[in-house]
Amino acid sequence: MPVAVVTDSTAYLDEPEIARHGITVVPLHVAIGGREFDDTEDPARVGVAEALRDHAPVTTSQPAPQRFAAAYAEAAARGADGVVSVHLSGALSGTAEAARLAAKESPVPVEVVDSGSVGMGLGFPVLAAAETARRGASLADVASTAKASAAATRSIFYVDTLEYLRRGGRIGAAATLLGSALAIKPLLNLEDGTITVLEKVRTAHRAIARLEDLAVEAAGGGAVRVAVQHLGAAERARTLADALASRIPAAAPPLVVEVGAVIGAHVGPGLLAVTVSPAHPQAG
């Protein structure tokens, strides 16, 4: 492919999909009890939920620019004429900025795209970019597709508690809820790359039911891709995915994705999120 696609591990794409599309993934890092892991390593994925419950220290960090520089150099060595590098929201992490620093030294042109999102809110734009690249599109067209997909993709999520977002400093406009956090179960979304409050619901059961309704509304009857994401809530995620499959007939079967340690460290066990993205984003 003339254009290579690079992303970071918070897209949480599975290995077969990464291999099929030739996507390069640069991992973020998590330190659990003083030991450092790549984001999606099994010990980190399993250990982060336990560590959070036990109040053990958990910290996360972005990749060094050198990791991106190596990825771009490798893409050039494989014959790519350019790279589109798509990453999680710059309001949540310095990952995209690290990619921009590396792009200045790249042997081929690099277009860095801030998805303004995370999880499959990043993953779907990455897949859209990779599918466009496989058709032999130009650097500008691949980047434009990633931006269009990101702009049209919506993620809504539920957390059992705001405590982990507060600890990690990622709570954004949802900070106004902290005083009443025990009395409500908020539904949150990402707006301009930051976490905001969408609705306040009184019980977890009602919040999840409302999450389902909002996902159906976001689909709007068109051809869409849907992903249900969770941390330590596989059964609840599968139940939600089955409900969405019956209520959004124009969608492909919803993906069920367990997030990795980096996002898990900031949202805590019990996360349930839905991402809805157009199946065929229109590049501008």
Q: Does residue 274 contact residue 257 with C-beta atoms inside 8 Å? A: no
Tens-digit pLDDT profile for residues 195-223 = 888 888 888 899 999 999 999 999 987 89
The mean-pLDDT minimum among 16-20, 186-190, 273-277 falls in 186-190
Q: What are the CA-CA distances from residue 167 to residues 101, 238, 258, 268 (Å)? A: 28, 29, 21, 10
pLDDT at 165: 73
Radius of gyration over every alpha carbon of the chain, rounded to an integer in angstroms: 18
pLDDT at 177: 52
pLDDT band for position 32 (cuts 50, 70, 90): confident
Mean pLDDT score across all residues of the chain: 89
Residue 253, beta-bridge partner list: none
Identify the residue with better confidence: 169 or 110.
Answer: 110
- As given in the structure block, the two tokens for residue 122 are 């990043």
Residue 184 has pLDDT above 50, yes or no: yes
Signed CA dihedral, 50, 52, 57, 61: sign only: positive
**What is the C-alpha to C-alpha distance for residues 144 and 243, in angstroms, rounded to an integer?**
33
pLDDT at 190: 85
3-state class of 199 per DSSP?
strand
The percentage of the chain sitting over the pLDDT mark of 90, rounded to a whole number, equals 63
pLDDT band for position 168 (cuts 50, 70, 90): low
